[in-house]
Amino acid sequence: EVVLTQSPATLSLSPGDRATLSCRASQSLSNYLAWYQQKPGQAPRLLIYDTSNRATGIPARFSGSGSGTDYTLTISSLEPEDFAVYYCQQRSNWPLTFGPGTKVNIK
Amino acid sequence: QVQLHQSGPGLVRPSQTLSLTCAISGDRVSSDRTAWNWIRQSPSRGLEWLGRTYYRSRWHSEYADSVKSRITISADTSENQFSLHLNSMTPDDAAVYYCARDLPREPAAGIHNCFDSWGQGTLVTVSS
Is the CB of A35 inside 8 Å of chain B's CB atoms?
Answer: no
* Binary contact (A98, B98; C-beta < 8 A): no
> Which DSSP string do the residues of B70-120 spell out, in sequence order?
TEEEEEETTTTEEEEEE-S--GGG-EEEEEEEEPP--GGG----SEEEE--
Do the chains contact at B47 and A87, CB–CB below 8 Å? yes
**Interchain proximity B114–A91, CB inside 8 Å:** yes
Rounded Cα gap, residues B92 and B43, in angstroms: 11
According to the model, what pLDDT value does residue B69 have? 97
The secondary structure of chain A in percent helix, strand, coil, rounded to multiples of 5, reads 5, 50, 50
B43 and A85 Cβ atoms separated by less than 8 Å = no
Please list, in sequence order, all residues whose beta carbon lies within 8 angstroms of the beta carbon of residue B93, skipping any fewer than 6 positions away: B12, B18, B40, B86, B124, B126
User: What's residue A9's pLDDT?
Assistant: 98
pLDDT at residue B8, rounded to an integer? 95
CA B7, CA B124: separation in Å to the nearest integer? 11
| Four-residue CA torsion sign, B112, B42, B52, A45 | negative
- Taking the CA of residue B43 and the nearest CA in chain A, the distance in Å comes to 10
Give CA separation, A62 vs A55, A74, A75, A102, B119, in Å: 10, 6, 5, 15, 23
Q: Cα–chain-centroid distance for residue B124? A: 14
Q: What local confidence, expressed as pLDDT, does residue A90 receive?
A: 97
Mean pLDDT of A72-92: 97
pLDDT tens-digit profile, chain B (128 residues): 999 999 999 999 999 999 999 999 999 999 999 999 999 999 999 999 999 999 999 999 999 999 999 999 999 999 999 999 999 999 999 999 999 999 999 888 889 899 999 999 999 999 99
Distance of alpha carbon A47 from the chain centroid: 8
**pLDDT digit string (tens) for A41-81?**
999 999 999 999 999 999 999 999 999 999 999 999 999 99
Which residues in chain A have Cβ-Cβ distances shorter than 8 Å to B100?
43
CB distance A89–B121 less than 8 Å?
no
